[in-house]
Structure 1
C-alpha cells in the first residue's frame, strides 16, 4: 500500500515548505521563525491558507511575513508503465 504522501503527489500535490516569521506577543520587536511543511497544491496553496487562517484566529503572535518554497517531486514524465515484474533475490 502506498503512503499518503505518494498518493498526494500522484494527485498533483507537491512538497511545500513555508518559513513563517511572526512577532512575539510580549516582545513585538523580536521576530521568531516557524517552519511549516506539508503537501499542497501550487499556486493556490489551500493547506497553507487553512493553516495561516488558523494562526490568525487562534494564536497571539501576529504574522510578519511568509516565505514559501514548493517542489513537484513526481511529474507525469517520470512515471513509466512496465510490461513485466521481476523478482530480485
Structure 2
C-alpha cells in the first residue's frame, strides 16, 4: 500500500523535481527535455537514481544532463506573538 504524501513528508521525504535533457535516438544533435517529479530522501536521492538507472538501461535516448531541486514541504511554521488587540465596534 502506498503511503500518502503527508506520511512521506513526516518521514523526511521532500518533493524532488528533475529536468533531464536527452538526445533523440535518431537525431543525436537534437536535445529533448523530460521532467520527473517524486518524493525522495535527501541527500542520497534513492528514487531519483533508481529512475536514472532505469532510463540508462531501458530508454534509447542517452542522457545529456540532469538538473534537480529538492524541497522539504513541512518546515517549522512562522509564529508571531501578539501582545495587543484592537476592537472596532
**Deviation digits for residues 19-39 of structure 1, max 9, x if unmatched?**
000000100000000000000
- TM-score, normalisation: structure 1: 0.81
Partner of 1:6: 6
5+ residue gaps in structure 1?
Answer: 79-89
Question: What is the total number of aligned residue pairs between the two structures?
Answer: 75
Large movers: runs of 4+ above 4 Å: none
1:6, 1:33 → 2: CA distance? 29
**Deviation digits for residues 31-75 of structure 1, max 9, x if unmatched?**
000000000011111000010000001010000000001100002
2:71, 2:23 → 1: CA distance? 28
Write the mapping of 1:1-89 to structure 2, written as runs, cut at 5 A.
4-75=4-75, 77-78=76-77
Question: Radius of gyration: which is bigger?
Answer: 2
Partner of 1:85: none
- TM-score, normalisation: structure 2: 0.81
1:5, 1:42 → 2: CA distance? 16
